[in-house]
Amino acid sequence: MALRGPGLVSEVESVCGLCPGACGLTVRLVDGLPVGLKGNPNHPLNRGGLCPVGLAGLDILYAPNRLRHPLRKHAQGEFRQVEWEEALGEISEKLKGIGTAENRGSAAMICGEPSSLFQDLAAQFMGWLGSPHLACTGQGNVLPFTLTQGLREVPAFDWSGADLVLSLGLDLFEDGPAPLHAASALIGARQTQDRARLLHAGSRCSLSASKADQFVAIHPGTHGALALGIAHVLVREGRYDSRFVTAHTYGFEDGRQDGEERLGFRRLLLERYYPDRVAQICGCPAAAIVRLARRFAQASRPLAIAGGEAAEGSNATCNIMAAHSLNALMGSFDKAGGVLNKPSIPLSPLPRVGGCDGEPSLFESAQGGGLLGTDPLEALSQAVSDGSPRLEVLFVIGDDPVGSRPGGSRVVQALRGIPTVIALTPFLDETCDEADWVLPTPVPLEQWEDATTPPFSALAVLGISRPVTGPLHSSRHAGDVLLDLSSRVAPEGASLPWGHYSDYLKDRLEGLSESGQGALISGSFEESWRRFLEDRGWRFRQHQGMDDFWSGILKQSGWWSPARPQGEGGQLFDTPSGRYEFFSQKLYRELLDRWGGLASSADAQQALGRARESLGLQGQVDELCLPHHEPPHLVGRGDLTLVPFRPITARGRLGTASAMVMEMFGHSVLSGWQPWAELSPETARRLDLEEGDLIGLQTISGQIEAEVRIRPGAASEAVHLPLGLGRIQAPGAETLKANPLNIVLDSRDPLSGALSLSSTRVQVRLVRRRPHGGPPPHLSGGEA
């Protein structure tokens, strides 16, 4: 062990940065070396506590298999270590050709960093290079909210203000965007306030299902149908907010659209989504649907949210629209405990550099697979194979497009078609194999870290911290690399106006300092909350000038402010009707435009019919533009459906670099270091499988092996596999080739173009019985 000196203990506040959850943490140092992490109880998101991946931060920092030097690929395909100077020098020479007129737009960037401040800098850099081709992955499916509310980003769900949260497929405590925020808001408050209820429906008995006051197990991909069944009961029994529905929604009653008959949402519900039919679709008792609906209606501030498996099927958009319609029926908009506009952080505006405003990004081209949305990597594959635009350079920052999605071989082909691929990452991943340059970036705790509001969150949060310890290896912050390249390429004055990423951060924060909004993270959470409530205008200054604010925000590790309702309706609905649209006019227009409806009603019907056919939709023609159930479209062979999920130990990209995380990878099913397959007791009996048996899961694109875990509550035709095991692994696990994405077939949601992960049929066969002395079977039959 290294000599430590006098052994002085200190603590500093920092932010986690390992996943989009944006938790605050406190680092314990001895003589300046970090030796412990704990959650920051003053942080408004996690309010103390960290998840297993966050707690593995030091394992990741000190991981022996971190990338230590820049690498360059040589002609024979092997990597050789190079100096930063050489790497940046050569890359900047390449970039010098990019700015010229004939090469405009021949650079592209894929950015998987969760921080929106970093994404802004990436956009600046690309703008400065004169290229609009930037894809920030992990944004979530915004299309359902565009169709119903006219939004361009996913709204916030104020689950801490709701007294009942109905989650359709979204495992809030495990796979949600901010599991610790959800846990502290929904569970942490259980003893101090009125108990907030949680209802959960899904095909897997997840952590959220286990915490729910009612868990309804349904078939995979039937979340939308369940939501409509609930809506049916609400409407039939008159338990909805009729004032809101009349004043602020469109398409509830039958009506006319361009002179034609239009089916109303009410009649659709009453005629087609009665509980007995929905029960048949979902595979749950009709009584459970009625019970869910009544509990939902009895709440004073109910909130429905869909995500997780509901948002990862071929019918993702329909599922989310159906779930969101429950919020519209209950009027849960623009009020505490409801759907709010995404909170904004008043940062300084960015300077205008370069000029590619309005130029289309290849990542948004219509070739990306969806009617009203695209999958950026599919669009990239298309662009490379068409040679339009011709790409010379691709940056991949903090993302692994090859290893983190099914059909990685298509991405591999695309990467091979681009002359220079530059990957920035702290660990070698599958994308690095296809890169020409691999540049090591630091991990959290040794770099400037900024973590902005996680998706769905109703709190505006900007966590920010300086490096806690010096970089252990020869790594550089991705932001510093971009700024360095910019200064090498451009003559003085024409480069981006910041020397280092920290200068950029300080510059952006000036706007925050001047706005006087929000507060630094400090004191007890309850105290600052009360202060916010007392001072509804929240315009108190805590600092004098920018330098004071800057040192304050670094000391406290962040700033936050709660989102607030903006006044009824109004800004929330930016649709053609200015209301919440059950009947989406945008979708209707798009379908007619694309499939050529003319003035007469018969033509419009035919056009919709053609649209339905070419999109492969199965809903009836008159319900296409309304929230409806689209039966999931399954591909491949086999009698079970593969439904992947992300356990909490798979959060972020880097967690599995920790041996501890690998060892507790399946802590909820007593498993470690390997994937497991969850089956329902009925399915296991039918296939003659027992707990701990090793099975092979076969699809037409490959096979992986996994140990059986029998989980009551799992849907009987589903087999659930954990995602997260891939190239980045702790030493000792090199032999594992267990990425379930390798056997997931490429399939997508025809409306949004988003990848569908749960559309693959799979065949299961026994490989080996559980060896004697293997993992112990579950305890069962506990007191209930």
Strand segments (E) across 116-236: 134-136, 156-157, 164-168, 197-202, 214-217
Is the CB of 99 or the CB of 179 nearer to other proteins? 179
* CA nearest neighbour of 203 among 232, 164, 168, 165: 168
- 699 to 758, contacts with other proteins by CB under 8 A? 711-713, 730-733, 736
- 640 to 669, contacts with other proteins by CB under 8 A? 648-649, 659-664, 667-669
Tokens of 597: 């409806």
What's the min distance (Å) between Cβ of 540 and other proteins?
Answer: 29
- Give a three-class secondary structure readout of 348-387: CCCCCCCCCCCCCCHHHCHHHECCCCECHHHHHHHHHHHC
What's the min distance (Å) between Cβ of 38 and other proteins?
Answer: 5
- DSSP letters of 17-67? -SSTT--EEEEEEETTEEEEEEE-TT-TTTSS---HHHHTHHHHHT-TTS-
What's the min distance (Å) between Cβ of 80 and other proteins?
Answer: 22
Is the CB of 35 or the CB of 598 nearer to other proteins? 35
What's the min distance (Å) between Cβ of 694 and other proteins?
Answer: 11
Is the CB of 34 or the CB of 652 nearer to other proteins? 34
Strands 420-425 and 393-397: parallel
Characterize 169-195 residue by residue with b for buried, 16 or more Cβ atoms within 10 angstroms of its Cβ, and e for exposed: bbbbbbbbbbbbbbbbbbebeeeeeee
- 63 to 122, contacts with other proteins by CB under 8 A? 63-65
Which residue is listed with tokens 């610790």?
180
What's the min distance (Å) between Cβ of 67 and other proteins?
Answer: 13
Reported as type and span, the H/E element at residue 81 is: strand 79-81
Is the CB of 38 or the CB of 586 nearer to other proteins? 38
- 617 to 636, contacts with other proteins by CB under 8 A? none
Q: Using CB under 8 A, pick the residue from 12, 16, 19, 51 that binds other proteins.
A: 51
Up-side HSE of residue 370: CA atoms within 13 Å toward CB? Answer: 26
> How many residues lie near other proteins (CB under 8 A)?
86
Could you tell me if residue 481 is left (phi over 0), alpha (psi between -120 and 50 degrees) or otherwise beta? Answer: alpha
Rounded CA-CA distance 270/289 in Å is: 15
What's the min distance (Å) between Cβ of 183 and other proteins?
Answer: 5
Q: Using CB under 8 A, pick the residue from 129, 143, 288, 587 that binds other proteins.
A: 288
* CA nearest neighbour of 118 among 405, 442, 417: 442
Note the helical H segments in 621-776: 659-663, 681-686
Is the CB of 46 or the CB of 314 nearer to other proteins? 46
Q: Using CB under 8 A, pick the residue from 5, 62, 280, 413 that binds other proteins.
A: 62
- 13 to 42, contacts with other proteins by CB under 8 A? 30, 33-39
- Say if CB 241 and CB 275 are below 8 A apart: no
What's the min distance (Å) between Cβ of 730 and other proteins?
Answer: 7
- Say if CB 607 and CB 597 are below 8 A apart: yes
- 120 to 179, contacts with other proteins by CB under 8 A? 173-174, 179
Up-side HSE of residue 690: CA atoms within 13 Å toward CB? Answer: 9
- 759 to 778, contacts with other proteins by CB under 8 A? 773-776, 778
What's the min distance (Å) between Cβ of 372 and other proteins?
Answer: 36
Which residue is listed with tokens 């897997």?
204
What's the min distance (Å) between Cβ of 528 and other proteins?
Answer: 18
Is the CB of 63 or the CB of 591 nearer to other proteins? 63
What's the min distance (Å) between Cβ of 203 and other proteins?
Answer: 12
- 435 to 494, contacts with other proteins by CB under 8 A? 472
What's the min distance (Å) between Cβ of 693 and other proteins?
Answer: 14
- 210 to 239, contacts with other proteins by CB under 8 A? 210-211, 214-215, 217
* CA nearest neighbour of 711 among 665, 647, 780, 782: 780
What's the min distance (Å) between Cβ of 472 and other proteins?
Answer: 7
Beta bridge partners of 215: 200
Q: In what order do the strands lie in the sheet with 71-73?
A: 79-81, 71-73, 437-440, 420-425, 393-397, 107-111, 134-136
Q: Using CB under 8 A, pick the residue from 6, 7, 349, 493 that binds other proteins.
A: 7
- Say if CB 289 and CB 226 are below 8 A apart: yes
**Sole window of 58-66, 138-146, 149-157, 329-337 interacting with other proteins (rule: CB under 8 A):** 58-66
Strands 393-397 and 214-217: unpaired
- DSSP letters of 231-253? HHHHHHTT-S-HHHHHHHEESSS
* CA nearest neighbour of 724 among 641, 762, 782, 667: 667
- 671 to 690, contacts with other proteins by CB under 8 A? 672-674
What's the min distance (Å) between Cβ of 221 and other proteins?
Answer: 20
**Sole window of 48-56, 145-153, 156-164, 310-318 interacting with other proteins (rule: CB under 8 A):** 48-56
Is the CB of 101 or the CB of 784 nearer to other proteins? 784
Beta bridge partners of 397: 111, 424
**Sole window of 1-9, 160-168, 319-327, 626-634 interacting with other proteins (rule: CB under 8 A):** 1-9
Strands 156-157 and 694-699: unpaired
Rounded CA-CA distance 324/265 in Å is: 13
Up-side HSE of residue 181: CA atoms within 13 Å toward CB? Answer: 27
Is the CB of 10 or the CB of 571 nearer to other proteins? 10
Is the CB of 183 or the CB of 305 nearer to other proteins? 183
Is the CB of 69 or the CB of 405 nearer to other proteins? 69
Q: How many CB atoms lie within 10 A of CB 102?
A: 7
Is the CB of 69 or the CB of 133 nearer to other proteins? 69
- 382 to 401, contacts with other proteins by CB under 8 A? none
- 580 to 619, contacts with other proteins by CB under 8 A? none
Q: Using CB under 8 A, pick the residue from 16, 24, 43, 46 that binds other proteins.
A: 46
What's the min distance (Å) between Cβ of 658 and other proteins?
Answer: 8
- 172 to 211, contacts with other proteins by CB under 8 A? 173-174, 179-180, 183-184, 187-188, 190-191, 195, 205, 207-211
Tokens of 536: 């509804």
Q: Using CB under 8 A, pick the residue from 15, 22, 61, 121 that binds other proteins.
A: 61
Is the CB of 34 or the CB of 307 nearer to other proteins? 34
Is the CB of 624 or the CB of 659 nearer to other proteins? 659
Tokens of 719: 């087999």
Is the CB of 48 or the CB of 401 nearer to other proteins? 48
Rounded CA-CA distance 156/459 in Å is: 8
Strand segments (E) across 218-317: 249-250, 255-257, 260-262, 302-306
Is the CB of 116 or the CB of 716 nearer to other proteins? 716
Is the CB of 33 or the CB of 602 nearer to other proteins? 33
Backbone angles phi, psi at 373, to 5 degrees: -165, 165
Up-side HSE of residue 398: CA atoms within 13 Å toward CB? Answer: 27
What's the min distance (Å) between Cβ of 622 and other proteins?
Answer: 34
Measured CA to CA in angstroms, residue 628 lies from 317, 336, 499, 671 at distances of: 10, 28, 52, 39
What's the min distance (Å) between Cβ of 492 and other proteins?
Answer: 40
Is the CB of 91 or the CB of 185 nearer to other proteins? 185
What's the min distance (Å) between Cβ of 303 and other proteins?
Answer: 19
Is the CB of 204 or the CB of 508 nearer to other proteins? 204
**Sole window of 51-59, 113-121, 400-408, 627-635 interacting with other proteins (rule: CB under 8 A):** 51-59
What's the min distance (Å) between Cβ of 192 and other proteins?
Answer: 10
